[in-house]
Structure 1
């Protein structure tokens, strides 16, 4: 176990932003749900990039080198310049299938408030795949909360960036992408995934020197 740095309510707010920004918009769901979020593995993978700004910055640098898009480099550099790995990191444990934390308490808040509806595909009496439906109330709450509490704007912008980086990849593909970093892959099961802040700093400096 690692000491929690956030409350259950804070976790619920963070997850709601991920659900709302990461959901695929639906046009004609029979129950009128406007958004669908595909799977718990994807939720954990996107949550990891929100909680580990340095790993997100590393992936942004990968996109910069792949796409030759200066915007990704600027975003990665801003994460480091703003000291986000020190101020905003929220550690996770590496388990068998990657970064994980039991989010059931936080999810129960969202479900009890009618913001998220859960469904799933069962096999032998067990759910093997989760579907989350995002309700109109969730979209309305996020819009209102962000306007009334500007401090929450960081979560909206960050979850949208994580959604952009995630694209249409599913949870397994996102975790495979994250596993490509050796610090993540080599973390012992049951232990905290460490920061890669210094590595990201060195990589940024190398790019700056090469482009000088």
Structure 2
């Protein structure tokens, strides 16, 4: 369900030639490349990394809402109770998607298309089908707790705006814990470091007379 809600929130428009494919006639959106889907899922599954990236964006832009969003995550237990760590693979965070996607595909909610040749697949694209969108909306309505993933997926997509899968991978590699994780082992948390960073940035904002939520 996490992947369905992520694909729903992250998909872009489907082209007319793609809609001409009989299997994609009901497609309402697409997430292009497995790398992009994996990297978006990494931030969704690791709220501590997401919050730390929000702090980086705050330092670049000075937009206080970014600091407040990071604070809302790091002041809570979300980095601990919502964290679903991923393995460090050859090219960064990785988790096999086949099993989860097979369930969505067999239910007619998502379709996958490969680009390339028989011997070399260059790209996987993931299409959200109309029944998938309907199910995503019904789940949120009937089980409001899943709204968490909708809100976080919205943040993740905004953070990744304009970045392709390879660019997202490079950005995530800037995190020491991510880059130095042993291949085949789970990538460690940055929650402690991010919380220290948050308090430093809050103190700096307060010194400048900037109000930051209840801490301002």
C-alpha displacement of 1:126: 3.4
Aligned with residue 124 of structure 2, among 130, 135, 139 = 130
Q: What is the alpha-carbon distance in structure 2 between the residues aligned to residue 142 and residue 161 of structure 1?
A: 18
C-alpha displacement of 1:32: 4.0
Question: Which residue of structure 1 aligns with residue 6 of structure 2?
Answer: 18
Q: What is the alpha-carbon distance in structure 1 between the residues aligned to residue 63 and residue 13 of structure 2?
A: 27
TM-score, structure 2 normalization:
0.89
Q: What is the alpha-carbon distance in structure 2 between the residues aligned to residue 161 and residue 26 of structure 1?
A: 22
Question: Which residue of structure 2 aligns with residue 157 of structure 1?
Answer: 151
C-alpha displacement of 1:69: 1.0
Where does the alignment leave 5 or more consecutive residues of structure 2 unmatched?
A: 207-216
Q: Secondary structure at the match of 1:129?
A: strand
C-alpha displacement of 1:188: 1.4
Q: Secondary structure at the match of 1:34?
A: strand
Residue by residue over 1:37-59, the C-alpha shift from the partner in whole angstroms, topping out at 9 and shown as x without a partner, is: 10111111011001110000010
Which consecutive aligned stretches of 4+ in structure 1 deviate over 4 angstroms post-superposition? none
Q: Secondary structure at the match of 1:78?
A: helix
TM-score, structure 1 normalization:
0.90
* Maintained 8 Å contact 1:24/1:37: yes
Larger-gyration structure (1/2): 2
Q: What is the alpha-carbon distance in structure 2 between the residues aligned to residue 171 and residue 19 of structure 1?
A: 14
* Maintained 8 Å contact 1:80/1:201: yes
How many residues align structurally?
A: 200
Q: What is the alpha-carbon distance in structure 2 between the residues aligned to residue 191 and residue 123 of structure 1?
A: 32
Alignment RMSD (CA, Å): 1.2
Q: Secondary structure at the match of 2:126?
A: strand
Is the aligned partner of 1:57 residue 2:51?
A: yes
Question: Which residue of structure 2 aligns with residue 9 of structure 1?
Answer: none
Where does the alignment leave 5 or more consecutive residues of structure 1 unmatched?
A: 1-12
Mean Cα deviation higher: 20-29 or 97-106: 20-29
